[in-house]
Amino acid sequence: MAETDSPSLADVAAPPALEARAVTKRFGAVEVLKGVSMTFRRGEITAIVGDNGAGKSTFMKVLAGEYRPDGGELLVDGRPATLLSTKDAQRFGIETVYQDLALAPDLTVAENVYLGRELVAPGLAGRLGVLDRPRMTARSREIMLGLGARLKSYAVPAQSLSGGQRQCVAIARALNWARNAVMLDEPTAALGARQREMVYGAIRGAAARDLAVLLISHDLPQVLELADRVIVLRQGLAVADLAPRDVGVRDVVDIMLGAGKAA
Amino acid sequence: MAETDSPSLADVAAPPALEARAVTKRFGAVEVLKGVSMTFRRGEITAIVGDNGAGKSTFMKVLAGEYRPDGGELLVDGRPATLLSTKDAQRFGIETVYQDLALAPDLTVAENVYLGRELVAPGLAGRLGVLDRPRMTARSREIMLGLGARLKSYAVPAQSLSGGQRQCVAIARALNWARNAVMLDEPTAALGARQREMVYGAIRGAAARDLAVLLISHDLPQVLELADRVIVLRQGLAVADLAPRDVGVRDVVDIMLGAGKAA
Amino acid sequence: MTPSTLDDGALAAATDEREPGLLGRLGGATAFWMALVLFGLVALFSAISPQNAFLNVGNFFTIALNASQLTLLALGMTYLLGARQLDLSIAANVVLASILSAKTITALMPAPGGNALGAILCGMVVALVAGTLFGLVNGLLVTRLKLSSFLATLATSTIGLGAALVITSGANVPGLPRVLQTSFGIYRIGGVVPVPVVIALAAAAVLWFFLAKTRFGVRTLAIGSAPEAARRAGIAVDRQLMTLFGMMGFLCGLTAILDISRFATTNIGGHQTDAMQAIAAAVIGGTSLFGGSASVVGAVIGALIPVVLGTGLVIMRVDSFYQLIAVGLIVIVAVAIDQRRRAGQA
Amino acid sequence: MTPSTLDDGALAAATDEREPGLLGRLGGATAFWMALVLFGLVALFSAISPQNAFLNVGNFFTIALNASQLTLLALGMTYLLGARQLDLSIAANVVLASILSAKTITALMPAPGGNALGAILCGMVVALVAGTLFGLVNGLLVTRLKLSSFLATLATSTIGLGAALVITSGANVPGLPRVLQTSFGIYRIGGVVPVPVVIALAAAAVLWFFLAKTRFGVRTLAIGSAPEAARRAGIAVDRQLMTLFGMMGFLCGLTAILDISRFATTNIGGHQTDAMQAIAAAVIGGTSLFGGSASVVGAVIGALIPVVLGTGLVIMRVDSFYQLIAVGLIVIVAVAIDQRRRAGQA
Amino acid sequence: RDKVEIAFLPGQVGIPFYSTMQCGAQKAAAEFDVTMSWAGPADWDVALQQPFIDAAVQLKPQGIVLAPTDGGALITQVQELEAKGTPVITVDAPLNEPVETQNIQSNHRLGGEAAAGAMAEVAGDEGSFLAIGMRPGLPDIDARVEGFVETFKRAHPKAKLLPIAYPETSSTKAAQQVAAAIQSTPDLKGVYVTHSAAATGAAAAILEAGKRGDIKLVSFDADPQQVNDLRDGVYDALIVQQPYQMGYDAIRTLAGLIRKEIPRASVEHDHFLPFVVVTQRNMDDPAVARSFYTTTCN
Ligand SMILES: Nc1ncnc2c1ncn2[C@@H]1O[C@H](COP(=O)(O)OP(=O)(O)OP(=O)(O)O)[C@@H](O)[C@H]1O
Ligand SMILES: Nc1ncnc2c1ncn2[C@@H]1O[C@H](COP(=O)(O)OP(=O)(O)OP(=O)(O)O)[C@@H](O)[C@H]1O
Ligand SMILES: [Mg+2]
Ligand SMILES: [Mg+2]
């Protein structure tokens, strides 16, 4: 059984922002998560690494309320919580960037950034739900520029964006709304060098704002540089909880693949 | 105007496998490609790098017959060619891995690998188009294992695969069918360390098989290690044609962003 | 060999803040083109119809009157299609609501000569409530039981029609007060504008506003564009769909009111093709069958085109069999050109 | 702190080569569940119907006979839906093909008493060719003019019906030889199995084979699952769609043959709900409206369920208005349970 | 007397015409000790009626009354039934070949002719006239249209007939077509409608155009609403069939045949019931009022 809790740098007295205990998840006959436990503390960047198909995305979707776990429990701020939907997770201030992004292709960039939390005009018009499009566009541009993405127009539909631009939209959305925790599933896979730097900066900023940050990434050198803790998932099990200072990329890969065992 | 032809290492006498001359492409009012010229020679790995939104994917789609260029011309094996559809490109032996992969989510892994080129049973049954599913599955497994992807089942629909597994399917397909050129748009973005190594190995193998290889990637260190030529695209223009031996990541980034000019 | 910078295109300085995305998504371009087609048809019929029979205000409003019910239904369908849903039960809903409404009115009618206003108002409320409830039942089947809206509304269509027939034993409800017709259903405000036209246009204006300008519209299209993404973004997809189905039901109730007040009777057998017509009107106007893009203006135009065609061809004395062929051909040509136009732009 | 390996689950050694994906995609699970529903209904009606009126071979084949035309249409629709297309013009196609066929037969008929076989065969060929051509026209509109199949076939539906009416001046074609009916349309092989049932089952078997076993089936579903991906994979999407629309048209021609030979007359005024019924049968059987998954067996079952229900309820002397309600409710319940079952598995 | 079992297969249930027929049949069933089943489709379509016929045959009734939704389709089946000794009487419409024991109908063609007479009487025989069908291919409705058109053309050569309109069962479409006709034909004098949905649509269009009284409206049938409308001056004449009598006669004859109280030979194949032409002037005559359709018996 996985036991990834470790007396980390963060204040042990404060309950973790998010905690998973012995979470299991199966699809049909295939058991994808075999009992994963993990804690995520405020101000800490926790990275999850693992081979393709290890179950990283599945685990994150459980935390996001997208999948219901078959077993185990989730705790938010130390209290057991049942996340029946992504809306529940958002109510707890947990925001997510999915590996497949989840943009509405027909909607504009600004509308995608504000999807589900549109800015409305002041006064009566706002009561009717009238959008404040200029402000949505202006703010979206700000956020996107902060991530290094320069767009010609914020009124084009998301489907006409390049791969990296799309990824920036998804990241912008999550970082803009998270209050408790933000979870990012390979957020920089499609990003250029500059954008990647800026996104990593934004992730550091989120941690500094006292959010719990969960980062899934295959970019091991970056992960080791950025994360406070690195947890290795292998075939549905959390097999290691590493401190980045102490390990190299080679070590992590070995653990990911189950080739050598570090002690 | 871009002028990226350079007397490279490859034999100048043989016509390039694929050549683009002054290709332009606009979407509505936005000019995405402003006249891009490039040659791809057999046995050579040509990398295209550039900032997000520079036009890399658009350029590749023009080469793949997915978009029709607004101006300029394409040459295959030195002869002008009009690619009206991806089918035309395939007829010339050009295979493509798209950034957004293009799998059929409801079809199985094996069916996706063989999509459009299904294996049929021998004899009369084959004349009727009866599939040889066992052989398709067995061969798919082989190819996928060669890329480091281990799947529990090759009969699950592609939509239930993890991000990296999906990417492997798309790569497997392209590498399996290319005869003249293979173009890969950020093929390793979702891959784990081991898979990435194996895919790079496969790409080298493709070049060794005398294919022209076009690689789009944001992983600059890897690109510099792997490619024979690195072409930098900036805002729809090919602004530099570099020999990887002579430059570092920093130089490339500077050119990508237009910050400094190397001469 | 040293790296060589070959060119350095100037930065495209101006950022472009027009809203092509919005226009496209709201089916604006198609709606605009179809409006041209509509005006072209009107001009054509005006030019060639004998004795200016086509080109006069009275005739235009008669056409609008005949399109008013379809317009209401097409509006609701536009929202539903925008959200990747549809409602095949609208005919049954209209029939059921009109029957309940008519039953109410005839039951509450005072003695002849008395003031029927109270009874009529009650009847109207009944129609709207019944229609909305019917729509909400569809919504429940789609959101709770997770049925596809196609199957769910096909089934409630059958059930609703069955219920209507059981209630009436299959006969139309007789005895509606004539005043309902004369001072509402076919009354022309200022002697010119028929009441149903005003109602349909008002509904169109309100729904245009909500689709183009508000959160409600954006969320509707978000659900249609990518249901998963909308759900993940925390949009209460189920509640939104309930609202949309309820709204469609409300519009069915409104249509039922117009139906009984125009014709002073119910018409149990007469709405069979309503759902198809409403979907066709919406789609001709630029709304996508696969969600994510919708146009209220287009729906109004899409509802008008067949009526204009029908009226014009009757005025031209085209035999009704050839009319069918003509309508089909014109739709194909108009839509095909729109298609080509859009492909050219992309 | 040193890195600590906490656990090392053993490799799941066995790779699983069953084909859940295939079964699911071919709508197998739903088809299986709907088959259970069908048998349940048969058992129920057999148990409670008076005088064993339901439970006898003759009645079963009568039911199959009544479902045979719908089955043919549902088969074609299953393929089209699998490829994310649909055909709303099948009713017009059937009517037009049956009229042309009937006209041919009556024109070629020898003097009374002569052998009508030649005329009948010519008529059948005409029906098949006309139906196929009609389908190919739909295919052309979809592939060349890039119309959505919804709008294209809605338009050709109108045009086709108009053409049929122009040809016949609106009257059904009289004077078909009775032998067509007695020795084909309602003839029972061995006194038991009606010819139309054999034809429908044969068509189902062939189409099942092609969908489940061949390249043609995989490509059809690939197009429906992700048209872009199919195109990029070099599948000749347009040619495949032409084939599918042509096939649907051929099946319409076959249906037309059954129609005129069962009823010994054309039925211009009927067939209006054919398209909806065919789509419903396919969808009930587990075919997705949004492409990528289709079930031939399901389509057959989906075509049988309403006929079994109808016949059973008539035998039970349930009033036809209540029948409508019952059919709707049963569809909802059956599909909702299927939905729940599938959600539970995922 | 033993009970006799008879299956009555109407062409469409619910509409007042058949409900009235049902009342007549029930009356006769009670009088002549008949167990009668009554089942038919909710819409007029041979493919929809077929299962009802099949199901009824499964129960092996002693006699069948059938309102055939198609004159050609059901011939063979009726022939087989007759051959097996189950007498069949068709009502409302005949089969294309006289294979059944008897056909009781009000010849729709004659109805159309009667309508032509009534129209000429109320609207004169000059100017333009419009006849409205339902959808082509329905023999009864088509016969009503043809009877009108041909008689009117022949008897009133000065009158102009507009192309026939086919609004299906939609009042809205009917209203649109009539409105267009009014628009384009200033001398439109009369509209003849063959079914009630078209009638309501036409009435609304005439009213909307402010032409009530100027444009005469003659309709088939006498649904309760139509009778009200006749009184209110919406219609100028109604051509009324006798469905009650049809139902009554069919059951009476069939019961007699099965009990062999009536010799088969004495039953003539064709049994025509006359039409009643109702106008505002004669509608209060009790003999005429008896022919109005009802939705419930008594
Ligand atoms: N909906 C599903 N149905 C069936 N199997 C699934 C489903 N989702 C995921 N799986 C399987 O679960 C395993 C883990 O998938 P997951 O997406 O969590 O991997 P991952 O660690 O995120 O991999 P990657 O690095 O490639 O993104 C994979 O083998 C995948 O095939
Ligand atoms: N179909 C389209 N319609 C309108 N604009 C488009 C379309 N496709 C691409 N663009 C625009 O063209 C530009 C280049 O896009 P492209 O996808 O080629 O970039 P890229 O170099 O591949 O970027 P990335 O590294 O992010 O994948 C972007 O600004 C994008 O918004
Ligand atoms: Mg993943
Ligand atoms: Mg790209």
- The token duo for C128 is 């709207």
Determine the distance in angstroms separating the CA of C16 from the nearest CA of chain A, rounded to an integer.
5
Please state, in angstroms and rounded to a whole number, the distance separating the CA atoms of residues B172 and B160: 17
Q: Pocket around ligand 2: residues whose beta carbon is below 6 Å from it?
A: A 160-165, 190, 192; B 27, 30, 32, 50, 52-58, 99
Give the up-direction half-sphere exposure of residue C88: CA atoms within 13 A in the CB hemisphere.
19
pLDDT of residue B8: 46
Q: Does D325 contact C159 at a Cβ distance shorter than 8 Å?
A: yes
Chain E residues whose CB is inside 8 A of the D171 CB are: 136-137, 142
**Lowest-confidence region among C196-210, D142-156, E33-47:** E33-47
Beta bridge partners of A27: A30
pLDDT digits (tens, 9 = 90+) for D278-336: 999 999 998 988 888 899 999 999 999 988 888 888 777 787 788 888 888 988 888 88
Whether the Cβ atoms of residue C192 and residue C64 lie closer than 8 Å to each other:
no
Q: Give the burial class of D221: count Cβ atoms within 10 A of its Cβ; 0-12 exposed, 13-18 middle, 19 or more buried.
A: buried
Please state, in angstroms and rounded to a whole number, the distance separating the CA atoms of residues B160 and B163: 9
For residue D1, pLDDT over 50 is answered with: no
Please state, in angstroms and rounded to a whole number, the distance separating the CA atoms of residues C40 and C62: 19
What protein residues have CB closer than 5 angstroms to ion ligand 4?
A 162-163; B 57, 99
- Protein residue whose Cα sits closest to atom 27 of ligand 2: A163
Q: Does D3 contact A246 at a Cβ distance shorter than 8 Å?
A: yes
- In angstroms, how far is CA C23 from the centroid of its own chain? 20
Please state, in angstroms and rounded to a whole number, the distance separating the CA atoms of residues B185 and B98: 5
pLDDT of residue D338: 80
Q: What are phi and psi of B37, to 5 degrees?
A: -120, 140
- Protein residue whose Cα sits closest to atom 7 of ligand 2: A160
Coil, helix or strand at residue A75 = strand
Nearest neighbour of C66 by CB, restricted to E14, E176, E224: E176
Please state, in angstroms and rounded to a whole number, the distance separating the CA atoms of residues B115 and B106: 12
Q: Which residue from A258, A239, A183 is spatially nearest to A34, judged by alpha carbons?
A: A239
The owner of tokens 């003539």 is E268
Of A213 and D338, which is predicted with more confidence?
A213
Q: Which of A220, A242, A249, A256 to mutate to test the interface with D (most CBs of D within 10 A)?
A: A242
CB of A236 shorter than 6 A to ligand 1: no
**Lowest-confidence region among A17-31, A122-136, A201-215, C110-124:** C110-124
State in Å: Cα A160 to ligand 2 middle: 6
pLDDT of residue C333: 87
Q: Which residue of D has its CA nearest to E40?
A: D320
pLDDT of residue C123: 94
Coil, helix or strand at residue B94 = strand
Mean pLDDT of the residues in chain A: 85
Beta bridge partners of A233: A50, A238
Give the other-Cβ count within 10 Å of E29's Cβ.
23
For residue D44, pLDDT over 70 is answered with: yes
pLDDT of residue A66: 86
Restricting to B residues 225-254, those with a Cβ less than 8 Å away from any Cβ of C are 234-243, 246-247, 251
Please state, in angstroms and rounded to a whole number, the distance separating the CA atoms of residues A231 and A243: 9
Please state, in angstroms and rounded to a whole number, the distance separating the CA atoms of residues E27 and E252: 10
Give the up-direction half-sphere exposure of residue B82: CA atoms within 13 A in the CB hemisphere.
4
Whether the Cβ atoms of residue C327 and residue C302 lie closer than 8 Å to each other:
no
| E strand intervals along chain E | 4-9, 34-38, 63-66, 88-91, 102-105, 128-132, 160-161, 188-193, 216-220, 237-240, 270-272, 276-278
Q: Does D321 contact E54 at a Cβ distance shorter than 8 Å?
A: no
For residue A261, pLDDT over 50 is answered with: no
Determine the distance in angstroms separating the CA of B78 from the nearest CA of chain A, rounded to an integer.
30
Query: Residues 6 or more apart from B232 whose CB is under 8 A from it?
Result: B48, B49, B50, B238, B239, B240, B241, B242, B252, B255, B256
Q: Supply the DSSP symbol for E194.
A: S
pLDDT of residue A13: 60
Helix axis angle for D237-263 and D195-213, nearest 10°, is 170
- Confidence grade of residue A159 (pLDDT, cut at 50, 70, 90): confident
pLDDT above 70 as % of chain B: 93
Please state, in angstroms and rounded to a whole number, the distance separating the CA atoms of residues D193 and D204: 16
Whether the Cβ atoms of residue C135 and residue C248 lie closer than 8 Å to each other:
yes
Q: Which residue from C73, C85, C39 is spatially nearest to C204, judged by alpha carbons?
A: C73
The owner of tokens 């048969």 is D42
First to last CA, chain E: 27
Determine the distance in angstroms separating the CA of E183 from the nearest CA of chain C, rounded to an integer.
6
Strand pairing class (D188-189; A79-81): unpaired
Please state, in angstroms and rounded to a whole number, the distance separating the CA atoms of residues E118 and E240: 12
Q: What are phi and psi of C188, to 5 degrees?
A: -110, 120
Q: Which residue from A145, A146, A165, A147 is spatially nearest to A156, judged by alpha carbons?
A: A165
Q: Supply the DSSP symbol for A108.
A: B
CB-based contact, B10 to chain C, within 8 Å: no
Please state, in angstroms and rounded to a whole number, the distance separating the CA atoms of residues E202 and E206: 6
Q: Does A6 contact D16 at a Cβ distance shorter than 8 Å?
A: no
Of C184 and C220, which is predicted with more confidence?
C220
Q: Which helix (H) or strand (E) holds B71?
A: strand B71-76
**pLDDT, average across residues E177-191:** 88
Q: Does A157 contact C21 at a Cβ distance shorter than 8 Å?
A: yes
Q: Which helix (H) or strand (E) holds E185?
A: none
pLDDT above 70 as % of chain D: 90
Of E116 and D345, which is predicted with more confidence?
E116
Output the CA–CA distances (angstroms, integers) from residue B255 to A200, B52, E158, in the order listed: 22, 14, 91
Q: Supply the DSSP symbol for C84.
A: T
Whether the Cβ atoms of residue A218 and residue B190 lie closer than 8 Å to each other:
yes
DSSP codes, D15-79: -----HHHHHHTTHHHHHHHHHHHHHHHHHHHHHSGGGSSSSHHHHHHHHHHHHHHHHHHHHHHH
Please state, in angstroms and rounded to a whole number, the distance separating the CA atoms of residues E6 and E27: 14
Q: Supply the DSSP symbol for C154.
A: H
CB-based contact, C18 to chain A, within 8 Å: yes
Of D253 and D18, which is predicted with more confidence?
D253
**Lowest-confidence region among A39-48, C4-13, D89-98, E235-244:** C4-13
- Which of B108-112, C206-210, D274-278 is most confident? C206-210
- The token duo for D219 is 């490509």
Please state, in angstroms and rounded to a whole number, the distance separating the CA atoms of residues E9 and E90: 9
Q: What's the pTM?
A: 0.89
Q: Which chains sit next to E, with 3 or more Cβ pairs under 8 A?
A: C, D
Coil, helix or strand at residue E5 = strand
pLDDT digits (tens, 9 = 90+) for A245-260: 888 888 888 888 876 4
Output the CA–CA distances (angstroms, integers) from residue B247 to B243, B253, C183, in the order listed: 7, 10, 85
Please state, in angstroms and rounded to a whole number, the distance separating the CA atoms of residues E236 and E251: 34
pLDDT of residue D92: 95
**pLDDT, average across residues E150-159:** 91
Output the CA–CA distances (angstroms, integers) from residue E92 to B158, C268, E220, in the order listed: 61, 22, 14
- Confidence grade of residue D14 (pLDDT, cut at 50, 70, 90): very low
pLDDT digits (tens, 9 = 90+) for D137-153: 999 999 999 999 998 99
**Lowest-confidence region among A68-77, C3-12, C308-317, D244-253:** C3-12
Strand pairing class (A18-27; A30-40): antiparallel
For residue E121, pLDDT over 60 is answered with: yes
H helices of chain C, in order, are 20-25, 28-48, 57-82, 90-108, 117-143, 149-168, 178-180, 195-213, 215-225, 227-232, 237-263, 274-284, 296-315, 320-345
Give the up-direction half-sphere exposure of residue E193: CA atoms within 13 A in the CB hemisphere.
33
pLDDT above 70 as % of chain C: 90
Please state, in angstroms and rounded to a whole number, the distance separating the CA atoms of residues E108 and D81: 44
CB of B161 shorter than 6 A to ligand 1: yes
- In angstroms, how far is CA B83 from the centroid of its own chain? 16
For residue C279, pLDDT over 90 is answered with: yes
pLDDT of residue B259: 66
- Confidence grade of residue D255 (pLDDT, cut at 50, 70, 90): very high
pLDDT digits (tens, 9 = 90+) for C220-254: 999 999 998 999 888 999 999 999 999 999 999 99
State in Å: Cα B92 to ligand 4 middle: 23
- The token duo for B233 is 């695209």
Cα angle D320-D322-D325, degrees, rounded to a multiple of 5:
115
Q: Does A195 contact B52 at a Cβ distance shorter than 8 Å?
A: yes
pLDDT of residue C2: 36
Q: Which residue of C has its CA nearest to D336?
A: C145
H helices of C169-214, in order, are 178-180, 195-213
For residue D11, pLDDT over 50 is answered with: no
For residue D169, pLDDT over 90 is answered with: no
Q: Give the burial class of B117: count Cβ atoms within 10 A of its Cβ; 0-12 exposed, 13-18 middle, 19 or more buried.
A: middle
- The token duo for D136 is 């190919």
Nearest neighbour of A105 by CB, restricted to C226, C231, C234: C226
CB of B162 shorter than 6 A to ligand 1: yes
The owner of tokens 């100037």 is C10
Beta bridge partners of D214: B130
Exposure string of B220-236, with b = 16+ CB inside 10 Å and e = fewer, is bebbbebbbbbbbbbbb
Mean pLDDT of the residues in chain D: 85
Whether the Cβ atoms of residue B54 and residue C9 lie closer than 8 Å to each other:
no
pLDDT above 90 as % of chain E: 33
pLDDT above 90 as % of chain B: 19
- Confidence grade of residue C156 (pLDDT, cut at 50, 70, 90): very high
Give the up-direction half-sphere exposure of residue B6: CA atoms within 13 A in the CB hemisphere.
21
Q: Which residue of A has its CA nearest to C236?
A: A87
Coil, helix or strand at residue B22 = strand
